[in-house]
Homo-oligomer: A and B are copies of this chain.
């Protein structure tokens, strides 16, 4: 294992510390328990909180700031944060209008965020929860009842964050967050494994000519392993799974196409995948009116990518375009 780390016990603390130093204009880092909050809170708005195991950076701390999250709670690598970290984050995010917590659908996260929410609600704060479960690969998995939450989480955070920032009430923010969840689908592929620092060995093994389709963001099993394929072949498989899952709902006419890197894959390769996915969508009569390409929801140094499609409506598009100022997404100001 070669990583730019010191003691494996300290990777999350030191990384979050460095993040706080680099972005002191945007965020404040709180220690013991650890969470990250907006440096300049905005009073009176619905608070937005997310979090989860570390190792998926820039998710979630990279999305704390104006127009997106008010606080993010990093757990240990690939391990849910406990309620003692989530509770102060929820409290910090509350300024009287209530808090929406955006939780990726993993059993540990769901339990811990739910427990924290109950305790904070007992103190008089209105807390709602939206569960993100955009991964179409598997119905249940190693850490999940139901589908996993993966790259689509960024889109939920951005769009709900814009709704909160413009002053929508808690019901409305929760509703638009749920609408994004209902309209977003993802599927990923791994070309290589990743190594959790304190484990020191890869979480799984892939042969030299083998890839795993439908991989999760913790390296948990996907649909099947196949021989290495071309970028176009891989893009076709991922996109087909995503598109067929949209099924019989509203027609998919206008989409945001998001090609996400898993951490160890260079940006140049993500654009090759994007090119194919965009071409296939065009062939099917889908207008790609918004796009995102980069490593936003990662699995440490895993090589691979995921394709996410969000069925856009006019309001989601407007909220996507609204100003955002975080360490990672920044526009409109």
Which of these, B5, B21, B232, B275, contacts A269 with CB under 8 Å? B5
- Out of B278, B301, B333, which one reaches A264, CB within 8 Å? B301
Contact call B192/A271, Cβ cutoff below 8 A: no
A308 to chain B, nearest CB (A): 13
**Alpha-carbon separation in the docked complex, A274 to B21 (Å):** 8
Interface of A is mostly: mixed
Contact A230 B266 (CB under 8 A): no
Docked Cα-Cα span, A150 to B93, in Å, equals 41
Complex interface: chain B residues within 8 A of A6 (CB) = 230-232, 272
**Interface check A228, CB cutoff 8 A:** yes
Residues on the B chain within 8 Å of A264, using CB:
264-266, 301, 303
Judge whether A11 and B268 touch: CB under 8 Å.
yes
> Interface stretch among A51-59, A161-169, A170-178?
A51-59
CA distance in complex: A19, B268 (Å): 8
Chain A residues with CB under 8 Å of chain B are 2-6, 11, 14-19, 21-23, 54-55, 57-58, 62, 191-192, 208-209, 211, 228, 230-232, 234, 263-276, 278, 291, 293, 295, 298, 300-301, 303-305, 330-333
